[in-house]
Structure 1
C-alpha cells in the first residue's frame, strides 16, 4: 500500500467552498448558499468515514459500497449541474472545477478499504522532510526532487507495511543489482507488502 500516492484528495474542494462562505455576511442566507451545500456533501462523507475508522479494510470497503457510493454519486451529480454556470475564477468556481476535474481520482476511494478520503495523513508523513528541505541541496534540480520523492515514498511505504526502513533499503540495495529489473514478477517480490520478504525486515 503506497501511502504517498494512494490517498484521495477531497480537502482541496472543501477549502475552496469554505473560502467562499467566509465572504457571506448575511447569516440568514448562509445555509442556503450553493457553497454551503457543497460543504454539507463533503462533511457527510467525512462523518461516514469517521464511523468506519475502526473497521477492517474489508469491512470498510463493503460499507463504502453500500453508503459512500450513493453519497459520491449524489455529490458529483450536483457538481456537474453547478459546473454549467459557476464562474470559473471565483472561489466557488474553483471548488466546483476542482471536484469536476478530479472525479475519477476521487471515485478511487471505492476500490480499496485502505484508501483515505483525505490526504492529511500523507502530508503528516512528509512533514519531517519538508521541515529540513532547505538543508538538502541535492533537491535543487528537478531530477534531484524526483529522486527525493521516490526515496521518501519508499521509506514511508515501508513504515506503513510494518517494515524497518533501514533494513528494507539495505535489502533492496543487495537484491536489485543482481536481478533483471525489467522482470515485473521478480520486482513484485521486493515490494513492501510482499509476503516473500525476509522476517528480519519486519518490526517485531
Structure 2
C-alpha cells in the first residue's frame, strides 16, 4: 500500500506508477470476475441439487461436475489472494472441524532457535502454544507375509514327521491374503474401480498382477460368500414389508460378439422411518431377463406389502399370490408430472399437492407406525382425496394420448396402491429406499461397462449385496470382508452363516 512519502516527484515516474497500479487493478478485477462466475455456477448447481430437482441429471455426473468447478474456484481465489497479497474478501469454505480422535497423532514441535530473550538476553519461559492439526496420509503399501512351518522328525523312529497344518486360505496355493482379497472386492464393488485399473495401481508399486488373476480371486471369494447373500434374501422373505426394483446389467454375450441385457433385481427393507427394530437390509439377485416370474421366484415364501414402481411384473405377482399386496410409489407419479410442469398449469398444481404430502412425511419420519397413520389420516387423506377428484376431472378434459393424459392415467390406474400409505404407518410414501440401493450398481455398471458372463453378473449381485449391507449398518466393509473370508476359509459351518452378518444373527 502506497503512502504519500512513497510517491515520486517526477511526472513521468508518477505516470508509470499510475499505469502499473491500473494494470494490477485490472488483474484483480479479472480474478474477481472469474471467482464470481465460478461461484455462480456452484450456486446454480446446488440449487439444482437441493431445490427443484430434475429427474434426468445423473447424480454421480453432477458430483463430478461440481467438484471440478469447486476446484477451479479454489484456484481462482488463490490467484486473487496472491495477486492482491491480502486475504480474499470472502473466506474460503474449508473443513475446520476437529479430526477424528481415533487417528494416530504424530507430533512435531516447531521451536525458536534460541531461548534467550532478544531484548535483554535473559532466559525465555513458555507461556503458551499454538496447536494446529492437518490430515496426512501414508500411501497404501504392500507387504509380504512369510509363513514358516517347521517339520520335525524323531531320531528314534525316522518314519515320524510332525508339522503344523497350513493355514486355510480362500485361494489355496495362491499369493493373496484374505485382507488383499477384501481390498480387491471393496475397490471393485464399493469404490467402482475395475480390475484392470487396480492392476495398474499395483504395478506402480512393482507388484505385477494380471487382471485375470484378480478376477480369479473375485470368483473364488464370490463362491464362498454366496450362501451369505442367500441368507440375507431368506431373512428378508420373513419380513412383512419390502421394497423392490430392478436395473439393467449389460452382460457379454460371446456367441454373438456383443452384450446382452441382463437384470439386477434389488429387494430392500428399512423400518427405521417408523422406529422398527429390524436391521436394514438389501439383497441383489441377477437374472438373464426381466420376466415377471423372476420376482415371484426371488420372493417365494414372502407374504406382506411390496412397495414398487409401475412395472407390470409386480402386479402379475400380486394377482397370482393373494398374500402379496402392492403399495405404489408417489415419487414415480411426481416424476410424470414434473416433466410437464413448465408447460402445464395442471402438472404444476399436481406437484404442489404432492409436495404437501412430502412435507407431512418429513414431520412424521421417525415416529411410530401408529402415530404416522394418525397424522396421515388427519392431514394427508384430505389432500389425497382432493387430488383424486382433481385428476379425475382433468383426465376427462384432456386427450388420453397426450403426455398429460398419460401422466393422469398412470396415477389413477394405480390409485389403490398409492392410497395404502394412509392405512398403514409402516408404508413409505415412495420407493426411494430401494432406488438409493440401486445407485451403486449403476455407477459400477458405468465404470465396468458390462459383466463378462451371467455367472459374473451373479458374482456382482452376491458381493454388492454384502458390501451394501455393511454400509447400511455402519460397518467397514473392508474389515468385515477380511474377517468373514477368514472365517469361511477356516470352515465356518454353513448352517450358522447368520453369525457372520454385519448385524449379527437375527434368524
Q: Secondary structure at the match of 1:135?
A: coil
Please, which moves more after superposition, 98-107 or 58-67? 58-67
Q: Does 1:21 align with 2:341?
A: yes
Q: Distance in 2 between matches of 1:62 and 1:77?
A: 23
Instruction: After TM superposition, give the deviation of residue 100 of structure 1 in Å.
Output: 0.9
Match of 2:438 among 123, 126, 144: 126
The alignment yields a C-alpha RMSD, in angstroms, of 4.0
Q: Which residue of 2 is the match for residue 83 of structure 1?
A: 395
More helix by share: 1
Deviations 1:108-138 (A, max 9, x none): 2124323221222221111112223443344
Instruction: After TM superposition, give the deviation of residue 2 of structure 1 in Å.
Output: 1.6
Q: Which residue of 2 is the match for residue 102 of structure 1?
A: 414
Q: Does 1:10 align with 2:310?
A: no
Per chain length, whose mean CA-contact separation is higher, i.e. which structure has more relative contact order (CA < 8 Å, sep 6+)? 1
In structure 2, runs of 5+ residues without a counterpart are 1-240, 245-305, 309-327
- Within a 5 Å distance, the mapping from 1:111-122 to structure 2 comes to 111-122=423-434
Does structure 1 retain, via aligned residues, the 8 Å contact 2:333–2:407?
A: yes
User: Cα–Cα, structure 1 residues 200 and 16, in superposed 2: closer, same or farther, change >3 Å?
Assistant: closer
Deviations 1:143-192 (A, max 9, x none): x98x89x979x869977996x9988xx9xx945xxxxxxxxxxxxxxxxx
Please, which moves more after superposition, 7-16 or 67-76? 7-16
Does structure 2 retain, via aligned residues, the 8 Å contact 1:64–1:110?
A: yes
Q: Which residue of 1 is the match for residue 451 of structure 2?
A: 136
Q: Does 1:203 align with 2:503?
A: yes
Does structure 1 retain, via aligned residues, the 8 Å contact 2:469–2:502?
A: no
Does structure 2 retain, via aligned residues, the 8 Å contact 1:125–1:156?
A: no
Q: Secondary structure at the match of 1:117?
A: coil
In structure 1, runs of 5+ residues without a counterpart are 25-32, 176-196
Q: Distance in 1 between matches of 2:331 and 2:349?
A: 15
User: What TM-score, normalized by structure 1, do the two folds share?
Assistant: 0.61
User: Cα–Cα, structure 1 residues 198 and 62, in superposed 2: closer, same or farther, change >3 Å?
Assistant: farther
Q: Distance in 2 between matches of 1:81 and 1:156?
A: 48
Does structure 2 retain, via aligned residues, the 8 Å contact 1:79–1:96?
A: yes
User: Cα–Cα, structure 1 residues 135 and 157, in superposed 2: closer, same or farther, change >3 Å?
Assistant: closer
Q: Secondary structure at the match of 1:2?
A: strand
Does structure 2 retain, via aligned residues, the 8 Å contact 1:57–1:113?
A: yes
Structure of higher CA gyration radius: 2
User: Cα–Cα, structure 1 residues 81 and 139, in superposed 2: closer, same or farther, change >3 Å?
Assistant: farther
